[in-house]
Amino acid sequence: MMPQICSMGPGLLLQGIHKHDLMTGFMQNRSYPDVLVMGAGLWHMLHITNVSDYGVALQSLRSSVLSFLPFSPQLGTDGPVTGYVSVRSPHLFWLGMPMLINGILKTDEKREKMSDEMWHSYDRALRNSRLL
């Protein structure tokens, strides 16, 4: 059987539209992907350009993703919990933001919005969200 792979698009992912429908569908159907691939930093940096909004969206995404994993963060991850049925857990991947090379950014808008300072701000927001 082929693994089920789900990739979440960057814009709708953080705006919550696609994320809500996707997570609700997983829970209602009790059918979860084997692999979930996500990423959004560069898209958000260029089109939204609001680090605070990005951080809040990542925290919301983290809550949504944790809600369908077959464990509770309150229980810890030290080992199996007795009395629970073993459940297959999806593999989660976050596509990190590549290092930006300002010299190859083609437009003034990209050079302005995608500066090293902004890249580091977005990277900090990702780390602070505890999504990873």
Q: How many residues does the chain have?
A: 132
Which pLDDT score is estimated for 1?
59
pLDDT at 118: 93
Sheet holding 5-7, edge to edge: 5-7, 35-38, 91-94
Cα–Cα distance measured from residue 8 to residue 22, given in angstroms and rounded to the nearest whole number = 9
Is 11 within 8 Å of 47 (Cβ atoms)?
A: yes
Reduce the DSSP state of residue 43 to 3 states and report it. helix
What is the chain's pLDDT, residue by residue, as a tens digit (132 residues)?
556 655 555 454 555 545 666 777 777 877 777 777 777 788 888 888 899 988 888 888 788 777 766 654 444 555 555 555 455 667 777 888 888 888 899 999 999 999 999 999 999 999 998 888
Instruction: State the alpha helices, DSSP H only, in 69-131.
Output: 108-113, 116-129
Q: Find the DSSP H helices in 1-132.
A: 10-15, 17-29, 41-47, 51-68, 108-113, 116-129
